[in-house]
Structure 1
Amino acid sequence: MRPLTALTLSEGKLFLRDGMSVGFGLFFPSVLLYVLGGLMPGFREVDPELGGVRAIDIYLPIVVAMALATIAITTLPATLATHRERGVLRRMATTPVGPAPLLGAQLIVQLIALLISVAVAITIGVAVLDVSLPASIPQFAGVLLLATVAMFAIGLLIAAVVPTAKTASGVGMLVYFPLLFFAGVWTPGPIMPENLRRIAEFTPLGAASQALSDAWSGTTIAPTALAVLAAYAVAITFLATRLFRWT
């Protein structure tokens, strides 16, 4: 068995043993979507303030962005920081394999977790809450890929600069909740105050939420959102690779 395959299986088992990662990372966004769409009054009724669509139709792509942030910002950096703190990365560096395959395995595990989380959210939205599928699935997938690169880069940057797993969790949460705000989790973009909406356009998750929503509804994807995501993907990936420490 190749080292990357073996490490991916091992990291996957460790992920599944962590109840917080499974519960919060995989299912929290979907639970929130179900609560909003199934229990909140008015969420499944057409709202003129939202452009004549239902609130739940707007929230599903926002929840997809939330799922991405949950994995990339709260789970990924804490796991990598734990490996560094426990000396796993240092010990891997002394082997012929090196530590890079472990990082690759962890990225694969987190990517699979993200895909599961997104799939569960979309399934609940479509099958239970009567939300339509994306108008352009290829465009939606392309935007999700670009947003994933940008958000995972931020997670790696957090893991690169924090000294301990506890600090990684704390910093992750400090970044996570403001990102959710600008993504429209509390106030969707169409009803967000103009000054806040302009700020949100230049945040990574705000841009991701906008681009995912555009791809979902079939409207032209905002060029600004794509440019912002690409800029974060390139710049933060560069910083993360320069600052990442194995020990």
Structure 2
Amino acid sequence: MTKAFGKLAAVEARLFLREPVAVFFVVVLPLGLLLALGGTIPGFRDADPALGGQRYVDAPFTGMMILLSIVTLAFSTLPSALVLYRERGVLRRMSTTPVRPGSLLSAQLLVNVVAGVVATALTLTVGHLVLGVPLPGAPLAFVAVFVLGSVAMLALGLLLAAVAPNSRVVQGAGAALMFPLLFIAGMWLPPQLMPELLRRISDFTPTGAFGRSLVHTLGGQAPEPLHLAVLAVWALAAGLAAARLFRWQ
């Protein structure tokens, strides 16, 4: 069974790599934005007293680029693939074989997690080598936040796949959710510049809690317990709802 799952995961990985749009938005775009904006906009490279002397390109912007990769996987790549498989009857046909539909779901999750890890590693490594972006100042806390946040995001992606009736709806709904959630996380307006009410709302959203925790751990600070609790609640609630509502056919 383990051998069959390994082959299935390898097939899913090849299919993922054959989708240039997915690879671009998950890996190339965040890294390109980091290099293009971080390397050309002077304000990104200047020490900011409001950030404790850090540059904006260091923890804040790098954290947002990592968040962009994971959110793209969760709200676009993963649910689109699963809904398309359901539309085409792949999951239904697999239920009659030794390789159950749950194996395909697990393989999809594994491929998306690996893609997120690769994108994050490239962003950190290239940012460090080219722009001098420091590596995570609290590496163990960063890994813990990355895992918890990724679980929460992918659980939301599974929930989206569970309730979307077809591939067209899931793509539109994913985009409709993704951009507001990125905005409230601080992608275009840093949290410290948000009105107090919007900042408090951001603390309780999955992307806001994930983004703030990434920025804190990249800068060498401990994540706030509130943000960790918010991510855990979102991961548990979305995961349970997805398991209850998911349809194989």
TM-based fold match above 0.5 = yes
Total equivalences in the alignment:
247
TM-score (norm 1): 0.96
User: 1:220 Cα shift?
Assistant: 2.9
- Using the alignment, how far apart are the partners of 1:213 and 1:23 within structure 2? 23
Cα displacement (A) at 1:46 = 1.3
2:86 corresponds to 1:97: no
Q: What is the aligned partner in structure 2 of residue 171 from structure 1?
A: 173
CA distance in structure 2 between the partners assigned to 1:78 and 1:242 by the alignment: 19
| Structure 2 residue corresponding to 1:225, chosen from 224, 227, 239 | 227
**TM-fit CA distance, 1:35:** 1.7
Runs of 4+ residues over 6 Å off in structure 1: none
Q: How does 1:103-114 map to 2 (within 5 A)?
A: 103-114=105-116
Q: Superposition pairs for residues 52-201 of structure 1, below 5 Å?
A: 52-57=53-58, 58-201=60-203
The DSSP-based 3-state class of the residue aligned with 2:45 is: coil
> In structure 1, what residue type is equivalent to 2:87?
E
Q: Which residue of 1 aligns with 2:36?
A: 35
Structure 2 regions of 5+ residues with no counterpart?
none
Q: Is the 8 A contact 2:26 2:68 kept in 1?
A: no
Q: State the alpha-carbon separation in 1 of the partners of residues 116 and 49 from structure 2.
A: 33
1:49 positional shift: 4.1
1:51 offset after TM fit, Å? 4.1
Q: CA deviation at 1:23?
A: 1.0
What is the root-mean-square deviation in Å for CA atoms of aligned residues? 1.3
Paired residues of 1:74 and 1:173 also in contact (CA < 8 A) = yes
Percentage identity across aligned positions?
Answer: 46
The amino acid of 2:108's aligned partner reads Q
- Which residue is 1:14 aligned to? 15
Unaligned runs of 5+ in 1: none
State the distance in 2 between where 1:96 and 1:51 align. 56
